[in-house]
């Protein structure tokens, strides 16, 4: 009898296993153990246990062990736990749009889920587990994640996928299945629809590509062992599409949409590729594209000693990237201590976030090895110079060239910004409100902050630069006693000029800067030089102005032409544009003329009571 029963059990088991092979469904399901199925294609190397996205249990244990002796890492982890405590006290996330966007809610959920889930895994305190699951349930109950603005879906998919993966073994089966069902319906199925409809963002060259493809990819990886069909549909498409945007890092790592969007795009580049590596053990060549290995230098050089960035395109006002968290990931991928050490340096006076822990790389004290001057080529080209990497009052200057029609561009070819004495003297106003009428359409260049007139540029007859203009650096010199860059921006002014060039030279032992514009005017035009500043401006003479900001002083002096005189304008505007209260423009203007004109201005911070006295005027061709 016992033998007959045993044979019956074995027969039933054989039938079960046979059915499993046909249906890819496991014979026995333990709620705490992910089902193991035979996966093919891109999923053939999938780590089927959870968690597998970005922070595996093995990596978590490595970090915990390292934090015992590494006070920086311990502090960073403590920062995340402290933020999780704040997240526990926040109001419930609601499905409320701002304009056409749910994006702020998606980002809020993403931050909460990462912080709370990490805090639980780091401390074992179940209040964080309960808080994370509560937030996951809240957004899972939404009617939709706003697919009409697909960034919202992508970021919410990312958020829910991380919570599902990291807390998989701590959720009861009913909760887990519910969250997964909503992740599939509101996230991945919407992604499939978008791919089927050839959504414009799928092969975009800019940030939407990384955010949408990586968000969906992370979602697909989170459910791949139970829902291989949707994963096998989404993953190959996302991996194939990402290079369309990643190639935009070439050749020198600059992000043409500006420093703010570098952060957004590179965050999602890091999330997506990191998830591929942790879940599949493969990055599919995505880290090998030109510019990727050096893009970590972009935020390092773009940040002045004040912390403010060279603020071009639609970067936010007084944009500070702070600690550029993707640099920690880039440091690990490319074994570059300059990247991770820059993050560490910024975190001395600020709060770490969860990615600084996940991608943690120990401090190597490499700042002194960085070059003081740096040129970046590309569709937006940049040049930077500074006096020191350790003196917070040092001089720093950055200038941009490129193309006025890149995504999010302002009409600002040749715009420069300048730090010295611990303050920013020449500044950019940044973006205006995206919800202004036709902000990305026909009215874009009627808004003051996007026009040439608000930037640190020359104007001919008061007109904007041409929208179709390109510019390029034609010569530059680094690691010399007087570093300089020269750009040709003739196309921006070709309605009046047959030639237009701008040079910036760092002089007075890296204490002052000389800005020199050379025009050949084919038509009569006034030249108006302008610089936007938070400083109070006092005209000493028609050729000399003294700027005062935060108790520091800078002298501006016109060296050429003899006909130019200084004046002061307000940058204030009327609502609904941003008002720009208290911001001024130092202006220098010539009478209308034709022919060759050299406009040369010295900006000399008052390091002592006597400002710099540099007065050499040499043609740019002789620099």
Q: Kindly list the domain boundaries of the chain, sorted by start residue.
A: 31-369, 373-613
The pLDDT of residue 15 is 31
How far is residue 359's CA from residue 26's CA, in Å, rounded to a whole number? 34
**Helix spans in 147-287 (H):** 150-166, 173-182, 189-196, 207-222, 228-246, 259-280
pLDDT digits (tens, 9 = 90+) for 479-507: 999 999 999 999 999 999 999 999 999 99
Written in H, E and C, the secondary structure of 412-469 is CCCCEEEEECCEEEECCCCCCCCCCCCCCCCCHHHCHHHCHHHCCCEEECCECCCCCC
Distance of CA 176 to the CA centre of its chain: 33
| CATH, domain 373-613, list 2.70.98.70, 1.10.3720.10, 2.50.20.10, 3.30.70.270 | 2.70.98.70
Across 315-341, average pLDDT:
93
Fold classified for 31-369: Glycosyltransferase (1.50.10)
Instruction: Identify which has the larger pLDDT, 240 or 316.
Output: 240
Contact 486, 501 (CB under 8 A): yes
Question: Does the structure show a pLDDT above 60 at 14?
Answer: no
Count of helix runs (H) and strand runs (E) in the chain = 15, 17
Contact 257, 300 (CB under 8 A): no
If pLDDT is split at 50, 70 and 90, which confidence band does 33 have? very low
Nearest to 622 by CA among 598, 588, 594: 598
The pLDDT of residue 94 is 98
Q: Which of 28-32, 48-52, 160-164, 427-431 has the lowest mean pLDDT?
A: 28-32
**∠22-24-30 over CA atoms, to 5°?**
130
Distance of CA 19 to the CA centre of its chain: 49
The pLDDT of residue 25 is 32
Nearest to 426 by CA among 399, 386, 466: 399
Nearest to 462 by CA among 486, 433, 439, 493: 493
Contact 216, 161 (CB under 8 A): no
- Residue appearing with tokens 């074992």: 124
Across 356-381, average pLDDT:
95
Nearest to 427 by CA among 326, 522, 531: 531
Question: Does the structure show a pLDDT above 80 at 611?
Answer: no
pLDDT digits (tens, 9 = 90+) for 38-57: 677 999 999 999 999 999 99
Instruction: Identify which has the larger pLDDT, 407 or 74.
Output: 74
- Residue appearing with tokens 């964080």: 128
What are the C-alpha distances in Å from 335 to residues 327, 416, 608? 11, 32, 42
- For 476, phi then psi, to 5°, come to -160, 155
Non-local (6+) Cβ contacts of 400 within 8 A are 310, 312, 380, 381, 382, 412, 413, 414, 415, 416
Sequence length of the chain is: 623
Contact 582, 588 (CB under 8 A): no
The pLDDT of residue 37 is 57
Instruction: Identify which has the larger pLDDT, 530 or 323.
Output: 530
Domain 31-369 shares a fold with domain 373-613: no
If pLDDT is split at 50, 70 and 90, which confidence band does 13 have? very low
pLDDT digits (tens, 9 = 90+) for 211-230: 999 999 999 999 999 999 99
For residue 373, give the H/E element and its range. strand 373-376
If pLDDT is split at 50, 70 and 90, which confidence band does 26 have? very low
Q: What is the mean pLDDT of the chain?
A: 93
pLDDT digits (tens, 9 = 90+) for 405-434: 988 999 999 999 999 999 999 999 999 999
The pLDDT of residue 530 is 97
What are the C-alpha distances in Å from 132 to residues 60, 170, 285, 355, 564? 18, 11, 34, 17, 63
Question: Does the structure show a pLDDT above 70 at 234?
Answer: yes
Instruction: Identify which has the larger pLDDT, 368 or 162.
Output: 162
Contact 554, 540 (CB under 8 A): no
How far is residue 514's CA from residue 559's CA, in Å, rounded to a whole number? 10
Which two structure tokens, joined as six digits, stand for 407? 């995504």
The pLDDT of residue 562 is 94
Question: Does the structure show a pLDDT above 70 at 7?
Answer: no
Across 329-335, average pLDDT:
98
R_g of the chain computed on alpha carbons: 28
If pLDDT is split at 50, 70 and 90, which confidence band does 469 have? very high
User: Quick one: angle between helices 228-246 and 207-222, nearest 10?
Assistant: 160
Which two structure tokens, joined as six digits, stand for 147? 């697919």
The pLDDT of residue 36 is 52
The pLDDT of residue 320 is 84
Across 183-200, average pLDDT:
98
The pLDDT of residue 20 is 33
If pLDDT is split at 50, 70 and 90, which confidence band does 445 have? very high
User: How many other β-carbons are positioned within 10 Å of the β-carbon of residue 331?
Assistant: 23
Q: How far apart are the first and last CA of the chain?
A: 101
């Amino acid at each position: 009898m016992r033998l007959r029963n045993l044979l019956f059990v074995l027969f039933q088991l054989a039938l079960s296993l046979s059915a499993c092979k046909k249906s890819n469904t496991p014979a026995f399901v333990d709620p705490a153990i992910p089902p193991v199925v035979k996966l093919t294609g891109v999923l053939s190397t999938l780590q089927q246990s959870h968690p597998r996205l970005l922070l595996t249990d093995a990596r978590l244990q490595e970090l915990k062990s390292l934090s015992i002796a590494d006070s920086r890492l311990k502090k960073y982890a403590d920062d995340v736990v402290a933020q999780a405590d704040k997240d526990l006290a926040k109001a419930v996330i609601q499905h409320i749009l701002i304009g056409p966007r749910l994006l702020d809610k998606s980002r809020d959920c993403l931050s909460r889920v990462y912080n709370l889930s990490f805090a639980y895994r780091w401390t074992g305190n179940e209040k964080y587990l309960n808080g994370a699951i509560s937030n996951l349930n809240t957004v899972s109950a939404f009617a939709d994640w706003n697919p009409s603005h697909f960034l919202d879906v992508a970021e919410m998919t990312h958020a829910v996928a991380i919570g599902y993966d990291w807390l998989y073994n701590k959720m009861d089966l009913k909760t887990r299945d519910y969250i997964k069902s909503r992740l599939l319906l509101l996230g991945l199925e919407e992604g499939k629809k978008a791919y089927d409809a050839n959504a414009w963002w799928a092969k975009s060259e800019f940030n939407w590509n990384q955010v949408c493809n990586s968000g969906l990819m992370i979602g697909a990886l989170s459910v791949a062992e139970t829902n291989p069909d949707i994963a096998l549909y989404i993953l190959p498409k996302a991996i194939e599409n990402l290079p369309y945007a990643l190639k935009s890092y070439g050749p020198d790592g600059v992000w043409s949409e500006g420093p703010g969007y570098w952060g957004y795009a590179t965050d999602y580049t890091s999330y997506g590729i990191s998830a591929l590596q942790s879940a599949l053990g493969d990055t599919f060549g995505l880290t090998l594209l030109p510019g990727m290995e050096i893009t970590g230098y972009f935020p390092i050089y773009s940040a002045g000693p004040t912390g403010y960035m060279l603020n071009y395109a639609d970067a936010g006002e007084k944009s500070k990237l702070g600690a550029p968290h993707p640099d920690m990931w880039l440091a690990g991928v490319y074994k570059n201590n300059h990247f991770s050490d820059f993050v560490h340096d910024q975190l001395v006076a600020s709060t770490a976030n969860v990615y600084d822990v996940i991608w943690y790389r120990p401090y190597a004290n490499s700042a002194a090895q960085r070059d003081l001057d740096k040129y970046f080529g590309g569709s937006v080209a940049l040049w930077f110079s500074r006096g020191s990497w350790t003196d917070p009052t040092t001089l720093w200057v950055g200038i941009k060239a490129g193309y006025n029609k890149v995504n999010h561009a302002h009409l600002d070819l040749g715009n420069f910004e300048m730090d010295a004495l611990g303050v920013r003297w020449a500044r950019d106003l940044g973006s205006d409100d995206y919800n202004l009428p036709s902000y990305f359409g026909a009215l874009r260049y009627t808004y003051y902050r996007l026009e040439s007139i608000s930037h640190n540029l020359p104007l001919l007859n008061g007109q904007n630069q041409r929208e179709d203009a390109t510019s390029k650096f034609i010569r530059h010199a680094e690691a010399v006693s007087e570093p300089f860059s020269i750009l040709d921006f003739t196309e921006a002014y070709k309605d009046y000029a047959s030639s237009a060039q701008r040079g910036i030279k760092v002089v007075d032992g890296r204490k002052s800067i000389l800005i020199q514009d050379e025009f050949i005017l084919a038509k009569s035009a006034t030249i108006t030089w302008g610089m936007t500043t938070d400083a109070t401006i006092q005209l000493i003479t028609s050729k000399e102005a003294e700027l005062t900001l935060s108790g520091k002083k800078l002298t501006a002096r016109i060296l050429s032409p003899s006909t130019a005189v200084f004046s002061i304008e307000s940058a204030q505007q009327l609502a609904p544009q941003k008002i720009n209260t208290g911001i001024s423009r130092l202006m220098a203007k010539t009478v209308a003329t034709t022919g060759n004109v050299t406009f040369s201005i010295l900006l000399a911070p008052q390091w002592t009571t006597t400002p710099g006295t540099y007065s050499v005027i040499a043609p740019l061709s002789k620099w």
